[in-house]
Structure 1
Amino acid sequence: MMTVSALLILLPALIGFVVLLARHRKPTRPAAVIARHAIVVDGSNVMHWGGAPSAKVLARVLGALQTKGYTPIVFFDASVGYRLADRYLDAGDLAGLIGLPAAQIHVVDKGVIADSAILEFSALHGLRIVSNDQYRDWRVQFPHLHRKGAVLRGRFQDGAVVWQQRLKLVRA
């Protein structure tokens, strides 16, 4: 059995170890397994492709991606719920609105910049991004943004998704 004095000596080391682990935590991953044809979607950006924020527009863009064989993984700012429903929405709430499983949706914590999470995740897994954001402030930190086709842009016009560049069909 450990004595009280031994516990008092080991306790600060244990606390320090736990704090160190918390600081070096890896970025949260919205899906446990990354699908072969996964693509990252900047949901807070894409929901504005038709003008005002719209879950329906976002759902149509996601549907267009799925029709081409992609598996969307959608990231949102913490404030997304207040733009769509005047209240906080988590991944489960958003799943019902946009027609994706909650495992494919990630709402960043309040105070976290969604762009950072999107770019870290896409770089880590070598995935393309769907967004009209130019990510100008992030290009030095995330050089993969310089690759042609790294960011797919589009708009929602006359009830249809219009891609700025050709979106290829992916095969299983």
Structure 2
Amino acid sequence: MLVVFFISLAVLGAGLLVPGLDDLLLLGVPCVIASLLILLTRLSSSGSSLIFKKRWIILDGSNIMHWKGNGADIATVQDAIQKLSEQGYTPGVVFDANVGYKLRNRYQGEAELAKLLDLPVARVMVVSKGTPADQVILAAARDHNAQVVTNDRFRDWSHQHPEVKDEGHLVRGGYRAGRLWLDLPPAKQQ
């Protein structure tokens, strides 16, 4: 796509600079705009950016929603997402299969939870029944070079995911005097 963009720029440049080729502007301008839009769309959907690289962070949604101690509460996950987003992170959330039953006494999938959390559906996952969410959370964190927000220590998974022992990989949190706190270390270089 980058090649198409540069060819479009060349056509536009020829139309601007070469006498008698003014008609190339009719072709060059729309081609430059279209190729630039396609290029930017592809870069943003692949997670790349010309300006900055996303700082992913994975939230253990089923763990976080119990941080207030009064049963499952989606507001705790919303609070964590807001705080992390304000600090420049791009949060993704993974839930156990039973999350909907804990919240609303019925199944809830990614689309419903994404709407509640005001996140794109692609950044919310409900694991399949019988699938351990821990494994999915740790794999997503590894794939995105991300930290994990949870109070779980993942001791059962430390052999497969030794990074859980690294300082700052697991971000603890909770509520003190009704306010969310997160034990976020300085940002990791990605």
Q: TM-score, normalised by structure 1?
A: 0.75
2:65 paired with 1:43: no
Q: Greater helix percent: which structure?
A: 2
The 2-side partners of 1:56 and 1:128 are apart by 21
2:91 paired with 1:78: no
Q: CA deviation at 1:169?
A: 6.9
**Do the aligned residues in 2 keep the contact of 1:75 with 1:105 (CA within 8 Å)?**
yes
Among candidates 137, 145, 154, match of residue 156 of structure 2: 137
Q: Which residue of 2 aligns with 1:21?
A: none
Q: CA distance change for structure 1 residues 149 and 59 in 2, over 3 Å: closer, same or farther? A: same
Q: TM-score, normalised by structure 2?
A: 0.68
The 1-side partners of 2:130 and 2:91 are apart by 24
Q: Deviations for 1:14-41, whole angstroms, at most 9, x for unmatched residues?
A: xxxxxxxxxxxxxxxxxx6446111010
**Do the aligned residues in 2 keep the contact of 1:76 with 1:108 (CA within 8 Å)?**
yes
Tell me the C-alpha RMSD between the 2 structures. Answer: 2.0
Q: How does 1:22-171 map to 2 (within 5 A)?
A: 33-34=46-47, 36-51=54-69, 52-163=71-182, 165-168=183-186
Q: CA deviation at 1:157?
A: 2.9
Counterpart amino acid of residue 140 in structure 2: F
* Residue identity (%): 37
**Larger RCO: Structure 1 or Structure 2 (Cα < 8 Å, ≥ 6 residues apart)?**
1
- What secondary structure sits across from 1:133 in the alignment? coil
The 2-side partners of 1:42 and 1:85 are apart by 19
The 1-side partners of 2:96 and 2:72 are apart by 13
Q: CA deviation at 1:137?
A: 0.6
**Do the aligned residues in 2 keep the contact of 1:68 with 1:167 (CA within 8 Å)?**
no
| Residue ranges of structure 2 left out of the alignment (5+ in a row) | 1-44, 48-52
- What secondary structure sits across from 1:92 in the alignment? helix
The 2-side partners of 1:58 and 1:161 are apart by 10
Q: Deviations for 1:69-102, whole angstroms, at most 9, x for unmatched residues?
A: 1010000011000001110001110012222221
- What secondary structure sits across from 2:143 in the alignment? helix
